[in-house]
Each structure stands twice: as structure tokens, then as C-alpha cells.
């Protein structure tokens, strides 16, 4: 079977590489020539553990190809995945124009019967729209190929993407025809050897499942951030509360961590898109509106703590920032809380010395030379009046406290991810601020 993946970003690349690992002939397409050139030169354009090895192995075996030519990709293809971006539109709704463009191109170029699979996160009704675009394009060409449109939202987590794809909790597939169902079942069979975790449903429910999952996870985080605020006021410890409720099997331990806000390419835009979808249907998502408000507030919490520590006037202070990526395990800077903190620090007249194990280039492209990008975590802390930990990379978890104490101008840590225990900071001679 030959499959095509259109869009070679975080989702498209992982999808293509993982399918090629099962022996399929996979053609991965992108309009970004620079990205395709880099891939063809053996360089992975994103940081994602195990992905470079997977790409190298399958490219060398002749099963994985990268091109900007959609026509070549569609030649003899049985399945075409659409994995292009669906960024936030001006009004908060998902911008599906990239998906529509791809649907038009596929309709104009497909040479044979095809199953088109929408993997991008798209609002309810988008698969139906893709179907009607394909029908119109084929009619304009007087072509009568048979095609199906399936929904197959992606649930991978950046930083664990390959593993998530290879051993998914579940695979959600929305189909309208038996043919699409059979093709999708066959494609995912290699990942279902130990347990069948495919859930077939109608397309609208499948599209809705993806948004609901992200909205639920974002809700848990914002809820705990609200609880963390109250814990600070009443003298409780949110970490103990988290453990206490996480042991309840009805609640479970995941996504209950208070911190300096969620970011990334998915939660912020997907929560907004779901609110926008609801609005366009005359509904209000009261819970999600609050989730958003809490998250926006939470991204400012570290700066407020820093400012308060310096008597409300942090101007002229040097702040070291550890962690720039929106979470550990990725170089993705989209909606990263570090950007909100750094922006506030710079506006307040602070100097910023930053370090991230993998996101420095992407951060530099956004922040430019206003920030000093240090070669390592200790260099970032040199002469700093405060250290803010924004991304909980493992290498920050057990720092050399003595060395840090000697390097910093004053030993103060603002722990935005509750990585350090209060006692540890105190014993090392640091003033510590945590969330909740
Ligand atoms: N990143 C994640 O963790 C994640 C997880 C689950 C779902 N998703 C969803 O998957 C989709 C893709 O996300 P991503 O993070 O991979 O995006 P991305 O921005 O990393 O990649 C999108 C790619 O599509 C390419 N592209 C745009 N228009 C194109 C066209 N007409 N033809 C071919 N390529 C084109 C872009 O050049 C880019 O390389 C989004 O809808 C996102 O919400 C993302």
C-alpha cells in the first residue's frame, strides 16, 4: 500500500515515519521547500526523541520519501493523510484554510480512487466540507474516481510522539463507508497487535472527540491553577492536595500539576476554537471561557511574584530563565509561557539570561537579541538576581546548588513548575517561590 502524508510538521512527520516503519511505502509532502530539502539531506527539522533515527532508517530502506510535489505523492496512492496546520484564526476559531487548500489540490491532482484522511485538528463539519470540495474538483475535471473522507484526529504528545503513535491509548476514526473503515483498520493493525484500541464512529463525533479531549486536559490544569492560588492564600500546599485527590480513582493523577500556565500548539488554540464553534451554534462554553481566563492569568504569575519580591520595581535586575520550550521534550515555542514572562521582564526593564536544552534557536528567532542566550544552565545563572524555572526539563531537577549559589548575585528561585521541594531550596540557602 502507498500512502501520502500532506504536511510534514510535528504530526505529519511522525505519522509518515511511523507508518513507513510498518513496511508501507510513504510519501511525505510539504510546501516548505527548505524543510523538504533538510529532510532529504538527512536532517530532522524538529526536535522529537527517536524521530531522526526512524526517519533515517526508513529513508535508507527506500520506504520514506520527502517531496514538494503533490502529484508524485498521489500517483498510485491508496490513502492521503492531511496533516497541515489549523492555527488560531482572528476570531479564535480554527483557521481551516490550509486544509481546504489541500483538499482543492488533491481533487485537482488525484489520479485514482483514494481514501482521504483528515488528521489535522478540525472543527465539526470539516470532513464533510473536504468531501464536497473533492466532489466539486472531480466534477470540474469530469473525473469519476471513487473517494472516501475519514476523520482520524491525532493524540500524540510532543516529546513522546513516536511512542504515542506506536502504542496509542486509542485510535479514533470517523468514517461513512465500509471501504474507508476496512482501509483504516488495515493501516492501524500493526499498532494494535497487543490490544485492539481502534474506536470507529461517525465523522462529526470523531472531530468533536479531539477537541473535547484537549479541552478536558486544559480544564484540569486551569482548575488546579485556581486551586493553587487559593492554597497560597489559605496556607495549604497544592502538591499535597494534588496527590491527595489524584489517588482517587475517579479523578486519577494526570494533568493535575499547578504551574505557570499551559502553552503549546494545541491546548490554547483548541480551547478557543471549541468556544468559537459553540458560539457559531448559539451556545456558550462557560467552563472553557474560565479555563482560558485562568490560563492567561497564570502565565503572568511568575512575573508578579518576581516583581513583588523586588518591591514592585524589578527594573535593572537580571533574571535567569531556565526552560523556554512550552514543555520538556520539544523545541516547540508556540504559546510558551516563557514568552509571556520574558516579555514582561523586558518591559519592566530587567535583563534576561535564558537557557533551554533544545529550543534556543527557535526562541532566538522569536525574541532576537533582547535576551542573552547562555550556552548552558549555569552560564544563564551567572550574576543573576533571580532564577525562574519555566520548563521542567529533567536536567534542571537536581542542579548543583552550591555552584548556583556562588554564581548568582542573589540566591532566589521562582519555581514555575514546582520542581524543587521547599526544604531543598531552604537547605541550599535559597529563597524559594513556588506555585501554590
Ligand atoms: N503538534 C502537536 O502536538 C499536535 C498533536 C495533535 C494534533 N495536532 C494537530 O495536527 C495539525 C498539524 O499540527 P503540527 O503541529 O504538525 O503543525 P506544523 O505547523 O508543525 O506543520 C504543518 C505543516 O504543514 C505544511 N503545510 C501547510 N500548507 C500546506 C500545503 N498546502 N501542502 C503541504 N503542506 C502544507 C507546513 O509547511 C508545515 O510544515 C494541527 O491541526 C494540529 O492542531 C498537533
In the chain, what are the domains? 2-200 (3.40.50.720), 210-297 (3.40.50.720), 299-433 (3.40.50.720)
Q: How far is the CA of 131 from the centre of ligand 1 (A)?
A: 20
* pTM for this prediction: 0.95
Confidence of residue 417 (pLDDT cuts 50, 70, 90): very high
Q: Confirm or reject: Cβ of 31 under 6 Å from ligand 1.
A: yes
Q: Confirm or reject: Cβ of 20 under 6 Å from ligand 1.
A: no
Residue 393, CA distances (Å) to 67, 330, 365, 403 in order: 34, 10, 21, 19
Give a three-class secondary structure readout of the chain: CEEEEECCCHHHHHHHHHHHHCCCEEEEECCCHHHHHHHHCCCCCCCCCCHHHHHHHHHHCCCEEEECCHHHHHCCCCEEEECCCCCECCCCCECCHHHHHHHHHHHHHCCCCEEEEECCCCCCCHHHHHHHHHHHHHHHCCCCCCEEEEECCCCCCCCCHHHHHHCCCCEEEECCCHHHHHHHHHHHHHHHCCCCCEEEECHHHHHHHHHHHHHHHHHHHHHHHHHHHHHHHHCCCHHHHHHHHHCCCCCCCCCCCCCCCCCCCCHHHHHHHHHHHHHHCCCCCHHHHHHHHHHHHHCCHHHHHHHHHCCCCCCCCEEEEECCCCCCCCCCCCCCHHHHHHHHHHHCCCEEEEECCCCHHHHHHHHHHHCEECCCHHHHHCCCCEEEECCCCHHHCCCCHHHHHHHCCCCEEEECCCCCCHHHHHHCCCEEECCC
Q: How far apart are CA 320 and CA 351, in angstroms?
A: 8
Confidence of residue 194 (pLDDT cuts 50, 70, 90): confident
pLDDT at 120 over 90: yes
Q: Confirm or reject: Cβ of 38 under 6 Å from ligand 1.
A: no
Name which of 10, 81, 7 is nearest 333 in CA terms. 10
Name which of 124, 99, 270 is nearest 201 in CA terms. 124
pLDDT at 146 over 90: yes
Q: Confirm or reject: Cβ of 214 under 6 Å from ligand 1.
A: no
Q: How far is the CA of 343 from the centre of ligand 1 (A)?
A: 26
Q: How far apart are CA 364 and CA 370, in angstroms?
A: 9
Mean predicted lDDT score pLDDT of the chain: 97
Ligand 1 atom closest to the CA of 12, numbered from 1: 16
Q: What is the pLDDT of residues 236-254, one digit of tens each?
A: 999 999 999 999 999 999 9
Ligand 1 atom closest to the CA of 13, numbered from 1: 16
Q: Are 149 and 175 in contact (CB under 8 A)?
A: no
Q: What is the pLDDT of residues 292-351, one digit of tens each?
A: 999 999 999 999 999 999 999 999 999 999 999 999 999 999 999 999 999 999 999 999
- Looking at residue 318, its pLDDT comes to 98
Q: How far apart are CA 432 and CA 423, in angstroms?
A: 9
Ligand 1 atom closest to the CA of 35, numbered from 1: 39
Percent of all residues in the chain with a pLDDT value above 90, rounded to a whole number: 99
What's the whole-number mean pLDDT along residues 60-82? 97
- Looking at residue 193, its pLDDT comes to 85
Q: Confirm or reject: Cβ of 30 under 6 Å from ligand 1.
A: yes
pLDDT at 387 over 90: yes
Q: How far apart are CA 294 and CA 173, in angstroms?
A: 32
The residue from 127, 231, 260, 266 that is catalytic is 266
What's the whole-number mean pLDDT along residues 113-117? 97
Q: How far is the CA of 121 from the centre of ligand 1 (A)?
A: 9
Q: Confirm or reject: Cβ of 333 under 6 Å from ligand 1.
A: no
Q: What is the pLDDT of residues 213-227, one digit of tens each?
A: 999 999 999 999 999
- Looking at residue 195, its pLDDT comes to 80
Name which of 206, 202, 317, 325 is nearest 262 in CA terms. 325
266 is catalytic: yes
Q: How far is the CA of 99 from the centre of ligand 1 (A)?
A: 10
Residue nearest to atom 43 of ligand 1 (CA): 121
Q: How far is the CA of 87 from the centre of ligand 1 (A)?
A: 9
How many CB atoms within 10 Å of residue 171?
21
State the Cα angle at 279 between 276 and 283, rounded to 5°.
Answer: 130
pLDDT at 199 over 90: yes
How many CB atoms within 10 Å of residue 208?
20
**Ligand 1 pocket test, candidate residues 9, 46, 165, most atoms within 8 A of CB:** 9
**Ligand 1 pocket test, candidate residues 6, 30, 169, most atoms within 8 A of CB:** 30
pLDDT at 4 over 90: yes
Q: What is the pLDDT of residues 261-302, one digit of tens each?
A: 999 989 999 999 999 999 999 999 999 999 999 999 999 999
Q: Confirm or reject: Cβ of 273 under 6 Å from ligand 1.
A: no
Q: How far is the CA of 193 from the centre of ligand 1 (A)?
A: 28
Amino acid at each position: 500500500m502507498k500512502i501520502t502524508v500532506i504536511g510534514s510538521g510535528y504530526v505529519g512527520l511522525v505519522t509518515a515515519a511511523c507508518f513507513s516503519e510498518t513496511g508501507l511505502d510513504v510519501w511525505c509532502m510539504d510546501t516548505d521547500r527548505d524543510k523538504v530539502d533538510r529532510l532529504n539531506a538527512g536532517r530532522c527539522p524538529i526536535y522529537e526523541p527517536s524521530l531522526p533515527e526512524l526517519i533515517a532508517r526508513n529513508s535508507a530502506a527506500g520506504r520514506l520519501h520527502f517531496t514538494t510535489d503533490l502529484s508524485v505523492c498521489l500517483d498510485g496512492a491508496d490513502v492521503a493523510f492531511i496533516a497541515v496546520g489549523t492555527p488560531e484564526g482572528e476570531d479564535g476559531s480554527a483557521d481551516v484554510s490550509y486544509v481546504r487548500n489541500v483538499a482543492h489540490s488533491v481533487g485537482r491532482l488525484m489520479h485514482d480512487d483514494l481514501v482521504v484522511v483528515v488528521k489535522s485538528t478540525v472543527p465539526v463539519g470539516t470532513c464533510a466540507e473536504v468531501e464536497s470540495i473533492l466532489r466539486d474538483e472531480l466534477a470540474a475535471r469530469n473525473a469519476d474516481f471513487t473517494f472516501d473522507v475519514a476523520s482520524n484526529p491525532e493524540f500524540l504528545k510532543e516529546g513522546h510522539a513516536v511512542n504515542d503513535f506506536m502504542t496509542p491509548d486509542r485510535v479514533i476514526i470517523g468514517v461513512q463507508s465500509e471501504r474507508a473503515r476496512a482501509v483504516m483498520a488495515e493501516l492501524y493493525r500493526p499498532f494494535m497487535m497487543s490490544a485492539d484500541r481502534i474506536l470507529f464512529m461517525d465523522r462529526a463525533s470523531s472531530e468533536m472527540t479531539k477537541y473535547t479531549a484537549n479541552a478536558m486536559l486544559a480544564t484540569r490544569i486551569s482548575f488546579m491553577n485556581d486551586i493553587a492560588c487559593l492554597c497560597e492564600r489559605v496556607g495549604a500546599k497544592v502538591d499535597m492536595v494534588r496527590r491527595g485527590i489524584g489517588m482517587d480513582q475517579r479523578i486519577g493523577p494526570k494533568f493535575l500539576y499547578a504551574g505557570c500556565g499551559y502553552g503549546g500548539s494545541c491546548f490554547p488554540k483548541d480551547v478557543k476554537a471549541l468556544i468559537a464553534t459553540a458560539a457559531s451554534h448559539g451556545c456558550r462554553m462557560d467552563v472553557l471561557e474560565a479555563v482560558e481566563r485562568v490560563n492567561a492569568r497564570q502565565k503572568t504569575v511568575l512575573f508578579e511574584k518576581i516583581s513583588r519580591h523586588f518591591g514592585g520595581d524589578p527594573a535593572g535586575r537580571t533574571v535567569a530563565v531556565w526552560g523556554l520550550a512550552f514543555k520538556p521534550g520539544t523545541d516547540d515555542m508556540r504559546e510558551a509561557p516563557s514568552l509571556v514572562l520574558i516579555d514582561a521582564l523586558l518591559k519592566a526593564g530587567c535583563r534576561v539570561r535564558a537557557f533551554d536544552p533544545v529550543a534556543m534557536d527557535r526562541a532566538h528567532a522569536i525574541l532576537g537579541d533582547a535576551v542573552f542566550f547562555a550556552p548552558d544552565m549555569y552560564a544563564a545563572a551567572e550574576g543573576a538576581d533571580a532564577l525562574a524555572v519555566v520548563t521542567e526539563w529533567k536536567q534542571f531537577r537536581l542542579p548543583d546548588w552550591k555552584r548556583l549559589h556562588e554564581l548568582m548575585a542573589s540566591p532566589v528561585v521562582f519555581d514555575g513548575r514546582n520542581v524543587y521541594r521547599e526544604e531543598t531550596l531552604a537547605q541550599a540557602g535559597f529563597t524559594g517561590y513556588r506555585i501554590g
